[in-house]
Structure 1
Amino acid sequence: MSEQCIPTATSPLSTWLSYLESIHTSAIDLGLERVAHVAEHAQLTKPAPKIITVAGTNGKGTTCALLEAILQNAGYRTGVYSSPHLVHYNERVRINGKPLDDAAHCQAFAAIEQARGETSLSFFEFGTLAALQLFKQHELDVVILEVGLGGRLDATNVVEHDVSVITSLALDHCDWLGDDIDQIGYEKAGIFRAGKPAICGQPAPPPSVAAHADAIGADLYQIGYQYHYVQQGDTWCWHAGAFDMDALPVPHIPMQNAATALMALGVAELNIADTHISEALRTLTVPGRMQVISSQPYTVFDVAHNPHAAQYLADRLATIKQDKGGNIHAVVAMLADKDIAGTLACFEGIVDHWYPASLSVARGAPASALSVNAEERFDTPYHAYQAAYQAAEPERDCVVVFGSFHTVGQVSEQIN
C-alpha cells in the first residue's frame, strides 16, 4: 500500500480496519519476533502493574469477564482485551468495563503505525499492540488479556504477565495447532512464566501442561488437585487450601470457568473481599454465552463452535427442554474449517427443529454443508432466526442461535 493511503489518527475506524487487513501477507501469522520488536520499542510489554493472561480452547471470554467483574467490584481500574468481537470492533477493548469510542482506537492505531516502522504486522498483532497502548495510557491497575490462538506464539504472549490461566483444552484450530492434544497443551502452556502462578482449569489435562510448568519452574495450580469446586443445589463451594469459600451463587457461566477465575485471583496478590466475588457471580452475563435474548419464546444466543463447547450448550438446552416441556428450534451457521459433524452430533435427541444457514464470511460454510435434517435451508443466519422465532410456541419452546461468533454477531446486529 502506498504511503498516501496510510490513515491518520483522525481517519474513520472503518478506514483503519481495512488498512490493517491489507498490510500483511496473511490474517494469521503465529510468531513473536515481529510483534515483540514493536512492543519493546513502544514500551508496551508491561502496560499495567498486574496482568493476567487467559488461554484455552473454550471459556476464555467468560473467565475474563468474571475476573473483570470481580476486580471492578473491588475498586480496581481494569482493562480487558478479547477477541473476536460479535458486532463492533470496539468490543475488543474494555476500560473499566466499557468499550472505547472509535476515536480512541484510531489514535492508538496511529501510534502503533508510527512505532512499527518497516515491521510488518498481522491484523491481530496490530490490534493487540493498539490495545496495550490504550491500557498504558489509561494508567490501569489490572489488565486481563485473552489469548487469540494457542498461546506460545500468540501476540499477547509478548507481555510480561503475572498470572497465566488455561481454561480448557480440546481439539480446535487444528490447521494451526495440530490435532494432537498433547501438542495443543504445550502450545497453551507456552504462556506460563518461571516463578509465577499458572492455573489450569482443564480436568486431567495432557501431560505436556505439567511437564512445561516443571521445565520452566512455573507454580502450577491444577483443578482437582490444588483447587476444587462442588455444586450444592442452588449454591456451590470452592476450596483451595486457605482460600475456601462456601454458599456461593451459581453463575450464568460454566462452573469450571468460575472456579478457575477464583483461583487466578487467589494467587494474584490483590485485595478482594468475598462480597466482591458473590456479587459478580450473581449478576454476570456475557454476550454470546448462554445469553438470554427473549423470554417468549425463550431465546438463547451462544457462540459454541466446537464439540467441547457444543456439549455444554446441549446439556443446558436439555435442562431447558425438560423444564419448559416444549421444542428446541436451533439456528446454526458455522465456519467450514470447524468440526461441523462433531459439533452438531452433540445435539442429537435434543434439537427438534433445525434452521441451517450459510455463513457469508471468509471460511464460512454453506447451509448445505451442515449435516442436519431440515425442511429448509437459509441464505443468512438472520433469515433462519426469523423462521425459527415465528415457528416457536412462545410459552413452551426455546430458540437457540449458535455455531460461530459470526452467526451470533450477525443476528444480534439485525435485531438491535
Structure 2
Amino acid sequence: MNIEPILKKLYSMRQFHIKLGLERIEKLLDVIDNPHKKLKCFHIAGSNGKGSTASFLASILMEQGYKVGLYTSPHLIKFNERIRINGQEIEDEYIFNFYNSIEKLINEIEPTFFEITTALAFQYFFDNKVDYAIIETGLGGRLDATNIINPLASIITSISLEHTNVLGNTIEKIAQEKAGIIKKGTLVISGNMPLLAENVIRTKANESGCKYFPLDSFVVRNKDHVDVNLNNKTYKIYTTPLRGYHQLLNCSLAVKCLNEILGIDDFLKINKGIKNVVINTGISGRYEIINDKPRIIFDSAHNPEGVKIFLEEFTREYYSYSKRELIFGVMKDKNIKEMLKLLTPFFDSIYVTSIQNERAATIDEIVNITDEINIDVIPLKNPDDYIKKFFLEDSEKCLVVLGSIYLLGEIKLKIKEFMLDNKK
C-alpha cells in the first residue's frame, strides 16, 4: 500500500510557528471516542533524554511480558517509527485508514501535524489493547498535544534553555511549562537539572498532592556506575547500550518509576530490558557508532545541553584519533552560536550543512553566525557523499555527524545501501 500521498498531506500541516493548545486535540479525540482515556500511560517530558528514558521504560516493561505502546518524536528515517507496539512499527494500512476516516474533521478544525499523529497513536494503542503506553511530549508540556492524558506517572528528564520564543526565556519559565504535565495525585520523577528548575517541579508536585522523587533522592552517583535505591533494594547500573554516563541517569529514572508504580524489582528482567533497549525499541542516534575505523559517530544533540552531554563522552576517546571532523546541521530556532562555541575546540575541521525542512537553518544562515563569532567552517551541500568518501579512508580519523535528528535520518537513508555494501 502506498501511503506517500497521506504522509504528504500530514507533512504539509507542519507549522514553523507552532500552534500550542489543547482545543483542537480535544475535538479530534472526542470524535473518535477518546481512546486516550482508556489507556494506562506514562508521560515523559524534558529538554534532553526523554526519548532514551521512554525507550528504557518500554523495554523493561516488554521484558516483564507486557504489551507496550511507545510514542516518540521525531522519526529518524520513516514516519512509522514514531508509533510502535513491542518494537513493531505501525502499519501503513492503519495510517491510511485512520487518516481517511477523519479527513473531513481535519479540514474543519485544522489540527497540526503533531496533533493528528498523537491522536493516531492513542487510537492505535487502544485498538491493539496495549497494557501500557509510553508517551513522549513533543514540545514543552503544559500545552503539548500529549497533555490530554491522565498518566500513572510523569517523568521530567531535564530542563535547559530551549524554544525560548515559545516556552519562556528563563529556566524557571521553561520548568513551569514542562511541569504542566503533572497531574493530581500521580507519581512525579525528575532527572538531572538545575536547582531552580527542580524547585519549580517540586512546588508543582506538592501543590498537586503528588509523590515526588528528584533524581538525587534515589540515585547515588559513582565514578563508573550509579546506585538506584528502590524499595528495600539497591540496583546498580554500570552500562547501557546507549553510550554515556548520562544514559545511566536516564535509565535510573525508568527503573525507579516502574518500581514505584508496578513494584518491578526483578533484577534479571530489568537487566534484560536495559540490555535489549535498542532491539526492543529501535532507538538510535544517541552517540551511535556507525563505523569503527575510521570512526563515524552520529549524535542527535540539538541544543547546548545536549552538546555538553555529547562532549562528556567524546572527550573519553578524543585523543585516540589523528584528526577529528564534524558535520553540523540543526533547526534554525536552536542556539547555534552557543553549540558551535562548545564544539569548536574539539574538532580540526567543521562542515556545516542543511536539510530539506522549512525549519532547518540553511548553510548560509549558519555561516553568517560563525562569521559573527570568528569560527571557520566549510559549507557542505552533500554530506552523504563526504561520508562515503571518508568511510573508505582506512585511517585513525574520526567523523562526527551532530545536530537535528532530521539531519541524521536524511543522511542515514542516503548512505544505508552504501554502508551495507562496504561493511568493514
Aligned-residue offset at 1:396 = 2.2
Aligned-residue offset at 1:48 = 5.4
Aligned-residue offset at 1:100 = 2.2
Deviates more, 1:374-383 or 1:326-335: 374-383
Aligned CA distance change for structure 1 residues 354 and 39 (closer, same or farther; 3 Å):
same
In 1, the alpha carbon distance for the partners of 2:10 and 2:355 equals 23
TM-score by length of 2: 0.87
Matches within 5 A, 1:345-360: 345-360=341-356
In 2, the alpha carbon distance for the partners of 1:70 and 1:198 equals 19
In 2, the alpha carbon distance for the partners of 1:386 and 1:326 equals 19
Contact 1:32 1:158 in 2 (8 A): yes
Amino acid corresponding to residue 20 of structure 1 in structure 2:
L
Aligned-residue offset at 1:389 = 4.0
In 2, the alpha carbon distance for the partners of 1:23 and 1:306 equals 25
What is the number of equivalent residue pairs in this alignment?
401
Aligned-residue offset at 1:189 = 0.6
Alignment correspondent of 2:273: 280
SS in 1 for 2:60: helix
Amino acid corresponding to residue 230 of structure 1 in structure 2:
R
1:64 matched to 2:54? yes
In 2, the alpha carbon distance for the partners of 1:220 and 1:114 equals 43
Aligned CA distance change for structure 1 residues 287 and 72 (closer, same or farther; 3 Å):
same
Aligned CA distance change for structure 1 residues 268 and 257 (closer, same or farther; 3 Å):
same
Aligned-residue offset at 1:95 = 0.9
Alignment correspondent of 1:385: 387
Aligned-residue offset at 1:160 = 2.0
The gaps in structure 2 that reach 5 residues or longer are: 417-424
SS in 2 for 1:299: strand
Alignment correspondent of 2:258: 265
Alignment correspondent of 1:400: 400
SS in 2 for 1:90: helix
RMSD: 2.4
Contact 2:226 2:249 in 1 (8 A): no
1:294 matched to 2:303? no
1:165 matched to 2:161? no
Matches within 5 A, 1:106-185: 106-113=96-103, 118-185=108-175
Contact 1:26 1:122 in 2 (8 A): no
Match of 2:191 among 192, 201, 205: 201
Matches within 5 A, 1:212-291: 212-225=204-217, 227-233=218-224, 235-246=225-236, 248-253=238-243, 254-269=247-262, 271=264, 273-285=266-278, 286-291=283-288
Q: Deviations over 1:249-287 (max 9, x none)?
A: 445242221111112212222545211211233343431
Alignment correspondent of 2:202: 210
Q: Deviations over 1:283-314 (max 9, x none)?
A: 43431111111112121111111100001111
Amino acid corresponding to residue 123 of structure 1 in structure 2:
F
Contact 2:58 2:134 in 1 (8 A): yes
In 2, the alpha carbon distance for the partners of 1:248 and 1:294 equals 24
**Percent identity of paired positions between Structure 1 and Structure 2:** 28
In 1, the alpha carbon distance for the partners of 2:263 and 2:106 equals 34
Aligned CA distance change for structure 1 residues 48 and 100 (closer, same or farther; 3 Å):
same
Aligned-residue offset at 1:129 = 0.1
TM-score by length of 1: 0.89
Aligned CA distance change for structure 1 residues 387 and 179 (closer, same or farther; 3 Å):
farther
Aligned-residue offset at 1:49 = 4.6
Q: Deviations over 1:52-73 (max 9, x none)?
A: 0100001111111111111111
Deviates more, 1:64-73 or 1:142-151: 64-73
The gaps in structure 1 that reach 5 residues or longer are: 1-9
Alignment correspondent of 2:8: 18
In 2, the alpha carbon distance for the partners of 1:25 and 1:336 equals 14
SS in 2 for 1:349: helix
Amino acid corresponding to residue 403 of structure 1 in structure 2:
G
Matches within 5 A, 1:269-348: 269=262, 271=264, 273-285=266-278, 286-322=283-319, 324-348=320-344
Q: Deviations over 1:105-145 (max 9, x none)?
A: 21222344366683331111011001111000100001000
1:28 matched to 2:18? yes
Deviates more, 1:360-369 or 1:137-146: 360-369
SS in 2 for 1:400: strand
In 1, the alpha carbon distance for the partners of 2:376 and 2:391 equals 15
Contact 2:29 2:119 in 1 (8 A): yes
Deviates more, 1:54-63 or 1:22-31: 22-31
Deviates more, 1:102-111 or 1:129-138: 102-111
Deviates more, 1:299-308 or 1:112-121: 112-121
Alignment correspondent of 2:181: 191
Aligned CA distance change for structure 1 residues 142 and 123 (closer, same or farther; 3 Å):
same
Deviates more, 1:148-157 or 1:34-43: 34-43
Aligned-residue offset at 1:346 = 1.7
In 1, the alpha carbon distance for the partners of 2:215 and 2:144 equals 24
SS in 1 for 2:339: helix
Deviates more, 1:373-382 or 1:77-86: 373-382
SS in 2 for 1:182: helix
In 2, the alpha carbon distance for the partners of 1:273 and 1:143 equals 21
